[in-house]
Amino acid sequence: MANVVVVGSQWGDEGKGKIVDWLSERASVVVRFQGGHNAGHTLVIDGKVYKLHILPSGIVRKGTMSVIGNGVVLDPWNLLMEIDNLRSQGVEITPDNLKVAENAPLILPLHANLDQAREEALGKAKIGTTGRGIGPAYEDKVARRAIRAGDLADAELIQAKVEKMLFHHNALLRGFGQPELDGQSIVDKLLELAPKLLPYIDTTWKVLDEAKRAGKRILFEGAQGTLLDIDHGTYPYVTSSNVVASQAASGSGMGPGAIDFVLGITKAYTTRVGAGPFPTELFDAVGAGIADRGREVGTTTGRPRRCGWFDAVLVRQAVKVNGINGIALTKLDVLDGMDELKVCVGYHVNGKELDYLPASTKDQENAEPIYETMEGWSETTFGARSWADLPATAVKYIRRIEELIEAPVALLSTSPERDDTILVRDPFAD
């Protein structure tokens, strides 16, 4: 049976939550392999809304195991709060259906404080982070001073690691003119939560290997989007981890051979939260209309999303970088009723015509989109469950996108409801 990786092919917020939930009904295991609680997934199931930030989307589905992999940076307090919130909505969460990697680094309150202090110090040049400590936590991981989930079982080790961490962080805080942190209070907080979190902690690479050997379907769930990848995104306006499909292997402890199909979630237009270049961004009534109809507000931040026309250049680039086998096209219905649509097919950059987004921040900011104009449609696509339900011009728009990005549509989502999905190619059948 095939194992599937789900990645965002734009700047995140493409609708991964619904697609992962739709796929998770067919999977035995759902794995989060990178990022932290800066991600936001909204699921709508039978009219009931679930908002997830760190828990894998499969957690709401009975009989599905959810795994938080080693590639994730974990805020343990946020995780426990999210578990309590979902339990209040009737979702059963136990150590049997939720596993946390013992080698997942922890996000501490000091990480969020440092994140926010840095953004404030940058002023107008700020990156636009969520301020939740994701970046500083990854920094501590790479610098080999992170406290990891499995460390919570050893009070003596926690004490030593906190002292080592504060040697670095207190020096930074002095530089920002901030008061230094008391190590003992951090140790006490960690030891207080340890009994609540330890039951979920496991050797997850082994759990996943056993699932694979048993022939179970595994779904790897990414957060954010390719253009926020630390290497392949619009640097420095990116997240602090690799979000591309290859990270599913290292962020879960499974080899690349475990990946059979890469599904790129792709919005029928383009959105972005936070600062950074956005060649097709709209500043007019058309952009405002897309934002209003698409309810474009960040699940995690509550910030309004910037909206623009579909950028086929960026998505094609994401297809190549991820090795995407097929896309799940979402929010097509938001374009209903528009007389004409535009698709970016290239850029003018400093007098040159390019078919890719260059790595230079300055060149990205200077990129002027080259548009192809297409006819819109007046009929509704909302809730369509077959190609026959779609207007001919909507189908034409989809087919042109497939040509431009050089990848087929495998799934088409026509509303937030999980059953309003047209299956073209089953990722699990490969």
Residues carrying an active site annotation: 13, 41
- How far is residue 9 from each of residues 213, 269, 314, measured CA to CA in Å? 30, 12, 8
Round to whole Å and give the CA distance between 169 and 172: 5
User: Which H or E run includes 384?
Assistant: none
* Residue 29 token pair: 């295991």
Round to whole Å and give the CA distance between 99 and 82: 15
Round to whole Å and give the CA distance between 111 and 132: 7
**DSSP E strand stretches across 54-130:** 65-68, 98-101
**DSSP E strand stretches across 268-378:** 270-272, 306-308, 310-311, 326-330, 340-349, 352-354, 368-375
DSSP 8-state secondary structure symbol assigned to residue 60 = G
- Beta bridge pairs of residue 48: 45
**DSSP E strand stretches across 53-170:** 65-68, 98-101
User: Which H or E run includes 395?
Assistant: helix 392-405
Cα torsion angle, 266, 271, 273, 274, sign: positive
Q: Which residues in 111-141 are b (16+ Cβ under 10 Å) and which e?
A: bbbbbebbbeeeeeeebebbbbbbbbbbebb
The residue type of 169 is: H
First to last CA, the chain: 8
DSSP string, 161-202: HHHHHHHHHHHHHHHTTPPPPPHHHHHHHHHHHHHHHGGGEE
Q: Which residues in 203-233 are b (16+ Cβ under 10 Å) and which e?
A: ebbebbeebbeeeebbbbbbbbbbbbbbebb
